[in-house]
Amino acid sequence: MRYAFVLGRVYTLSIAELFAILEQKNAALNLSGEPIKLLEASPEAIIIETVNPLPVDKLQKRLGGIIKILEIVDIVKKRQQDSINFALKHYFKPSVLKKQFLKDYKGKGQFGVSIYLLDMDLARPPQRFNNKDDKPSPSAFGEPKRLGMMIKNVLTEGGQSIRLVLPEFNALALASVVVTKNLLLQKGAEICVLAGQSAIYTAKTLVVQDFEDYGRRDYQRPVRDEKQGMIPPKVAQVMLNLAHAENGQTVLDPFCGIGTIIQEGLLLGYRMIGSDINKSAIRGSETNLEWFRNRYKIAPGKYNVEVADATNLAHLMASQKVAAVVTEGTLGPVYGSYPKPADIAKNFANLTQLYTKTFAEFAKFLPGKARVVICIPAYKKTRDAYEQLESLDFITALGYNLVDIITPALAKKLKFLRLTERGTAIYDRKDQIVAREIVVFEKI
C-alpha cells in the first residue's frame, strides 16, 4: 500500500511525529511497527509504502502534524521539461476517474483538485523570455485550474453533471476546511497530484484533519491565557506522540498551565497527571478539564491536577508509575521586541538552574528508557536563525541521553529538514519572538 501524508507548516515536526507513530507497535492503532519504505518527500508531502493497510481514520485523529492522508493511485512518468498538465493529458480517462477516484453519489457530484510539489523548483513563477528560442522550465503556477478543467471536460463529455472546486488566490492545493465544507469526500473526490522531476503520483484524499475540532479544543475552553501564550493542541499532540508512551500508561506534565497537554493526552488514551506551581493556573486547568471531560466523554479518574513545584515532585509520584514526561516547561518572559543579549543570558541562566533541579527530580521516579519531551525557549533573530540555550550537557549529566527527533539515517535522506545542530526542531509563529525548541531526552 502506498500513502501520501500532507505535512503541516512545521514539516520537520510533522515527519518526526509520523515516523514516531508508524515505527512503533501500537495495539490501539493496529500498528505492528513494520518497516516503512520511504518513496519520496518534500516540505509539502511525504510518500511511503507499507506492507499492510493503515488505519487512516484513526491515524488522522492521532497525528497533530498531518493535514491530509492520501492513497496513491498511480505513478505517471514525466520528463523534467514537461508541465504537470502535459504529462497527465492522456491519463484521466472516464474509466479511470470512475473506478479509481470518484465516489458513487446520486445527484450532482463534485470534485476538487490539489497539487503538492515533490520538486520544489515547480513552485517558481512562470519565466518570460525575449528570445523565442529559450525554453522556460515548467512551473506549477495555474496548473490546478488547467488540470481541473481537463478532468471536468472529460466527465461532462461522458454525460456526467459535476461541479469543480479549485484552490483560490493562486494556491496549488485545497485547504482541509474547503474539502470538508464542500463535502468533496462524500459527493465525489479530492483528486491530488504529487509532482516530482521524473514522476507524478496521482492520489485521492482519504481523510483530512478535523479543523473544527482542533478549534473547539483550543478556543472554546472556558479559561484561556493569551498573555503567557498557550501551546496549540496540535503541537501538544505531536509532543505526546514523540514520548513513545503506550496506551493506558501515565504521562506527567509538571508545568501544566491551563491543561492543554493534559487534555490532548486524555484524547490519545493516556492517564494524565498535571501539576503547576501557579494556583491560578491549576484552577484554570481544573475548569477546562471538567469542560473537556464532559464534552469528549472522558471517564472519571483518568486525570489528576494539583499545585506542586516541579523541583519537588518525587514524593507525590511515589505511588504512580509515570511512563513519560511531556511538558511545555517555562519559556521565560514574553517580549514584544527582540530582547537584549544580557536579558537572554539571564533567562537561560535561570532556566538552567530550574531544569537542573527539575530533571534531577524526574530521575527519582522515571524508569529507564522513559522519555522527557519538553519545550525550551529559542529567541527568533531572523526567519531561520535563533538564539538557543548553548548546551544541554547539564541535563545529560543527570543521567539522560539527548534523542534525535528524527533518526540520523532518515535525516540524511531528507536534506530539506530544518533541524538544529543538536537534532531538535523548533516550532514558531510569525508573531512570536520566543519560539519553542522541542527537545527529547531519554532516561538512561
Q: Output the pLDDT for position 133.
A: 56
CB 176 within 8 A of CB 211: yes
pLDDT at 262 over 90: yes
- Checking if the pLDDT of 269 tops 80, the result is yes
Please give the average per-residue pLDDT across 389-393, as a whole number: 96
Q: Which residues contact 75 (CB under 8 A, 6 or more apart)?
A: 199, 200, 201, 202
Output the pLDDT for position 226. Answer: 67
Residues sharing a CB contact under 8 Å with residue 119, sequence separation 6 or more, in sequence order: 42, 195, 196, 197
Q: What is residue 143's predicted lDDT score, i.e. its pLDDT?
A: 94
List the one residue out of 267, 266, 268, 330 whose CA is nearest residue 304: 266
Q: Give the pairing of strands 271-276 and 250-253.
A: parallel
Domain boundaries, the chain: 2-209, 223-443
Residue 73: pLDDT band (50, 70, 90) is: very high
Q: How confident is the model at residue 384 (pLDDT cuts 50, 70, 90)?
A: confident
- pLDDT of 129 > 60? The answer is no
SS3 content of the chain, % helix, strand, coil (to 5): 30, 25, 45
Tell me whether the CATH fold assigned to 2-209 matches the one assigned to 223-443: no
Q: What's the pLDDT at 340?
A: 93
**CATH architecture classification, 2-209:** 2-Layer Sandwich (3.30)
> What is the predicted pLDDT for the residue at 289?
97
CA dist 218 and 215 (Å) reads 5
Q: How confident is the model at residue 135 (pLDDT cuts 50, 70, 90)?
A: low
CATH topology of domain 223-443: Rossmann fold (3.40.50)
Does residue 229 carry a pLDDT above 80? Answer: no
Residue 251: pLDDT band by 50, 70, 90 thresholds?
very high
**pLDDT over threshold 90, residue 124:** no
Please determine, for residue 79, whether its predicted confidence score (pLDDT) is greater than 70.
Answer: yes
Q: Average the pLDDT over 44-64 and give the result.
A: 96
The pLDDT, as a whole number, for residue 147 is 96
The pLDDT of residue 383: 78
Position 131 pLDDT exceeds 60: no
pLDDT at site 389: 96
